[in-house]
Structure 1
Amino acid sequence: MVTIDAPVELQGTEYCNYRSPLSTRYASKEMQYNFSDQKKFSTWRKLWIYLAKAEKELGLDITDEQIAEMESAIHDIDFAAAAEHEKKVRHDVMAHVHTLAERCPLAAPIIHLGATSCYVGDNTDLITLKHGLDLLLPRLAAVISRLAKFADEYKSLPILGFTHLQPAQLTTVGKRASLWLSDLIMDERALSRARDDLRFRGVKGTTGTQASFMQLFKGDSAKVRALDKRVAELAGFDKRYLVTGQTYSRKVDLEVVAALSGLGATVHKMCSDIRLLASRKEVEEPFEASQIGSSAMPYKRNPMRSERCCALARHLITLHANAANTHAVQWLERTLDDSANRRITLAEAFLTADATLLTLLNICQGLVVYPKVIARHIAQELPFMATENIIMAMVQAGGDRQVCHEKIRVLSHEAGAQVKQHGKDNDLIDRVKKDAYFAPIISQLDKILDASTFIGRAPEQVTEFIEEEVDPVVSKYACVLKEVEKPVTLNI
């Protein structure tokens, strides 16, 4: 049996309890607050106030004094008392109803009037999801904005392209970054759509039929419908789900988590690319002056930020299956096996996405490019890639294509042997220069081997992409970008 072996004076402190690294190391204070108990239960109280206000407007016997009393207690929550109530009643909503009733005796008779637990639980979750997306979208826009500047700055710098992780035709540093940007633009669209699609559950009752409210309003269907609409308006929603079971459909959670999971896939791909480039010493994430890469190997410059992003993103990706399975097993009007799961999954999805974007912004603010290393790598591979151009130049100078092709083939294999078998540099061009057959084009070789002639329309593509697709997205967040784009300092 495992026992607590910590000193007595430490037992019960935060250091003897499990603490999520999302809250202690990675996620922002704003996102932590969004999923905090204070935010959750003060939102419950706001929802009870919205309900009371709307019911009063529609004719129920509720006074301004009762509403004012509840308004004075929105943030004044006795968590200890609520915990004691929950131990007795084994019901979190009723525990907080009792706690608020003790704080607001005048309003006690009308708190939670006609509502079911999901009135506060589900509507609070929808508010939290909305606010969470409101936090994430500007962070994502800041990443897009900074990466766009990087792509534009390096749109004309040639670099080896890779297919199958083997050297392929040249691209540019900026063009490669535009591929990351393109995915991020799709993520912004998905997250924006998820946010704009969010509706309010409203007041629907125990199985979604609004039967309790029909009783309260003596069968007046129009008033019940007006109540549903008015509460949604007070909560800041212009749309509501017109049909629900006891809960709003967990398909909503799935759509939101799917968008977050998609962002995770994008970040994992991008940061994996950065890690590969760092191993080639072509592009690096920022590395602080006092940062240690390895306790045993002091020369190392590990891409720890990109590795962190990949680690967090991998967790974010897996949460999609969790949300999908939770929706799939909601029987009929609702089962409670979603509750414990959603407490974990929804919070972790947003906190993980938040931490990932903060780290990614830090990376994008300090990406370092090493043009000379890139040029050396190009020089090792470009002679092979230029063989077709050499053949074309020889044909234009009067040579026979088939003869030229055979000569280039033989020389290429000889140069390849020097690289692979003897570990030497690629000497194909030297071999071409020494072969009298190629004398007619020797003066053209420097031009033929100019890396900038192998990048096609990459610079123009980057410019067009930024102007047509990136700038309109960034402009949506112009009013908040200055604040969000401030240099990010990672906690650890």
Structure 2
Amino acid sequence: MDRTVYQEPLVSRYTSLEMQELFSEQFKFTHWRRCWVALAEAQHELGLKLVTREMVEELRAHIDDIDYEVAAQKEKEIRHDVMAHVYAYGLCCPKAEPIIHLGATSQFVVCNTDLLIQKRALALIKKALVNVIANLAAFCAKHAGLATLGFTHYQPAQPTTVGKRNTLYIQDLIMDLEYIEHLEQQVKARGAKGTVGTQATFIELFEGDHEKVRELDRRVAAKLGFDQVFAVTGQTYPRKLDMKTAETLAGIAESAHKFAVDLRLLSNLKMQEEPFAKKQVGSSAMAYKRNPMRSERMTGLARKLMGLPANFSATAANQWFERTLDDSAIRRMDMAQAFLLADAILRLYVNITSDMVVYPNQIGKYLRTELPFMATEKILMACVERGKSRQEMHEVIRDHSVAAGLAVKEDGVDNDLLTRLAQDARIPFALEELNAMITDYTAFTGRAEEQTHEYLREVVTPLLGRHRDLIGGVDASLKV
């Protein structure tokens, strides 16, 4: 690593080698050459006499031996990256040199390669997403019945269960997965469309044979690994697709952000934590700290990704007529960053959910503190069953509840509402009876446990079954 110049942290710190390789120059430029081979081979198969089998084989033999220095020097001279690589390829393939890029425009190689990269990158994202869902499903099953405080407005609310809460994260991720699978169907080849999408040059090459030109389009796409091709394009494939891709990836970031922030809040309450390495340092000054570093990192990366769709939207909206070049520089950065960010986020998500830690005793402590307030309706009904007036009991319980809550806040004492009620002669229950009313936490969680098992059984398990070939094999280890 050259430490005297800026290095992209997404590459050096956060992302998988597989995603980095997809967006590497090696992958891009070798696949430009694969596009040229596919075009020449299809032209030869369809009877274009200018292109011989010998030329095609020469091109195929030199896909990987790229002289980057020659290409870079030529680009500096002519200010055109595609023609610089046509030149470098031609030096390797003197027999085929006259027919390289025949009938094509620069976006033939650029767009088709970009689409191929995105297709493969989406597959990596999908695999990681499925693995997060699988991790969370196991966690939900394990903690389906573990009662915990619910929170609304980050204030204590009616209890739920740890498992039920985490089904909400799964539900978000399943929506993301569905959008990914829809997007996969939208990623098609640009094919061989010519300069502005009319295939005019190919019609000339094939002497007006429209069927051969249509077949050329289909064959090139198939040779590049696509089963669909855009029926119509301008000079580029529709930049609307880029916007939808960015929105879909940003949706994953939103889901991850929600989970990460919740886990950070739970970490503060000491109820639930992300994994903490044996030698991990939480603070350079405060040695006792166990900061939720992974969740914090995931939050920051997600924030960056959630901001990218606006760039893609502006680019798509600003493509004048068949195309304008202001899409080039920004896409070189943003498309790679969008996928790298999603990759980094999901690797963290897999890592965190593989070994989350839950503290039932601490959860119970918070429940015991807040349940007396939440049990007041139950106590009220029990008083009525013993012959007391509902209105009178409501007023008595309300007065004691306000006083107990004020004491907790002003004096820092424990919640003594049940003791206050037991000492009031108007309440027909002893302290032991009142305590018994809140002993079973699950009596306050409604159908949370049942909902968790039902959701896992009816929704999550079938989905994971359909994607069983994607489970496992995700390197979620942290570089730093």
With the length of structure 2 as denominator, give the TM-score of the two structures. Answer: 0.98
User: Residue 411 of structure 1: which of 389, 400, 421 is its match?
Assistant: 400
d(CA) in 2 for partners of 1:70 and 1:116? 18
Contact 1:257/1:320, CA 8 A, preserved across alignment: yes
Contact residue 251 and residue 327 of structure 1 kept, 8 A: yes
1:452 matched to 2:442? The reply is yes
Of 23, 34, 40, 2:28 maps to 40
Per the alignment, residue 73 of structure 1 pairs with 62
SS in 2 for 1:466: helix
In structure 2, the residue matched to 1:355 is 344
Alpha-carbon displacement from aligned partner over 1:437-456 (angstroms, at most 9, x marks no partner): 22357564344212110000
Q: How far apart, CA to CA, are the structure 2 residues paired with 1:92 and 1:381?
A: 66
Q: Is the aligned partner of 1:19 residue 2:15?
A: no
How many residues in Structure 1 have an aligned counterpart in Structure 2? 478
CA contact (8 A) 1:277 1:284 kept: yes
The letter for the 2-side match of 1:420 is: K
Amino acid at match of 2:366: H
Q: In structure 1, how many angstroms separate the alpha carbons of the residues matched to 2:458 and 2:303?
A: 31
Moved more, 335-344 or 436-445: 436-445
Q: Distance in 2 between matches of 1:101 and 1:17?
A: 34
| 1:86 Cα offset (Å) | 0.6
Shift of 1:19: 1.1
- Residue identity in the other structure for 1:310: T
Q: Distance in 1 between matches of 2:243 and 2:472?
A: 32
Counterpart of 2:16 in structure 1: which amino acid?
S
SS of 2:3's equivalent? Answer: helix
1:389 aligned onto 2:378:
yes
| 2:458 match | 468
Structure 2 runs not aligned, ≥5 long: none
Q: What is the CA–CA distance in structure 2 between the aligned matches of 1:288 and 1:456, rounded to whole Å?
A: 36
Residue 476 of structure 1 deviates from its aligned partner by: 2.9
- The aligned counterpart of 2:301 is 312
CA distance in 1, matches of 2:5, 2:405: 60
Correspondent of 1:168 among 152, 157, 160: 157
State the AA in 1 paired with 2:357. V
Query: How many Å separate the matches in 2 of 1:351 and 1:300?
Result: 30
Q: Which amino acid aligns with 2:416?
A: D
Matched, 1:439 2:428: yes
The question of whether the paired residues in 2 share the 8 Å contact of 1:394 and 1:441 is answered with no
Residue identity in the other structure for 1:341? I
Match of 1:342 in 2: 331
Distance change (3 Å), C-alpha of 1:443 and 1:396: farther
**In structure 2, the residue corresponding to 1:437 is in which secondary structure?**
coil
Q: Partners of 1:320 and 1:360 in 2: how far apart?
A: 21
State yes or no: 1:329 paired with 2:325. no
- Matched with 1:134 is 123
SS at match of 2:191: coil
1:481 equivalent in structure 2:
471
Question: Is it true that 1:272 corresponds to 2:258 in the alignment?
Answer: no
Of 347, 362, 368, the match for 1:373: 362
* Counterpart residue identity of residue 129, structure 2: L
Q: Aligned partners of 1:388 and 1:33: how far apart in 2?
A: 60
What letter is aligned with 1:335?
Answer: T
What is the Cα-based RMSD across aligned positions, in Å? 1.2
- Structure 1, unaligned runs of 5 or more: 1-12
Measured in 1, the distance between the counterparts of 2:65 and 2:13 equals 29
Q: How far apart, in 2, do the equivalents of 1:360 and 1:292 lie? A: 20
Aligned to 2:16: 28
Deviations 1:174-198 (A, max 9, x none): 1111111110111111111111221
Distance 2:82 2:389 in 1: 87
* In structure 2, distance between residues paired with 1:258 and 1:285: 28
Q: Equivalent residue for 2:286? A: 297
| 1:46-100 per-position Cα deviation (integer Å, ceiling 9, x unaligned) | 1111101110111012222211111111111111111011111110000000100
Residue 182 of structure 2 corresponds to which residue in structure 1? Answer: 193
- How much does 1:165 deviate? 1.2
Indicate conservation of the 8 Å contact 1:141/1:473, yes or no. Answer: no
> CA offsets, 1:390-440, max 9 Å, x none?
000111121110111111011112211210110000000111222232235
The one-letter amino acid of 2:48's match is: L
Residue 143 and residue 286 in structure 1: after superposition, are their counterparts in 2 closer, same or farther (change >3 A)? same
State the distance in 2 between where 1:202 and 1:417 align. Answer: 71
Q: Distance in 2 between matches of 1:65 and 1:433?
A: 97
Which region of structure 1 is more displaced relative to structure 2, 301-310 or 409-418?
A: 409-418
The Cα offsets for residues 292-350 of structure 1, whole Å up to 9 and x where unpaired, read as 00001111100010000000000000001111111011000000000000000100000
Q: Residue in 1 aligned with 2:39?
A: 51
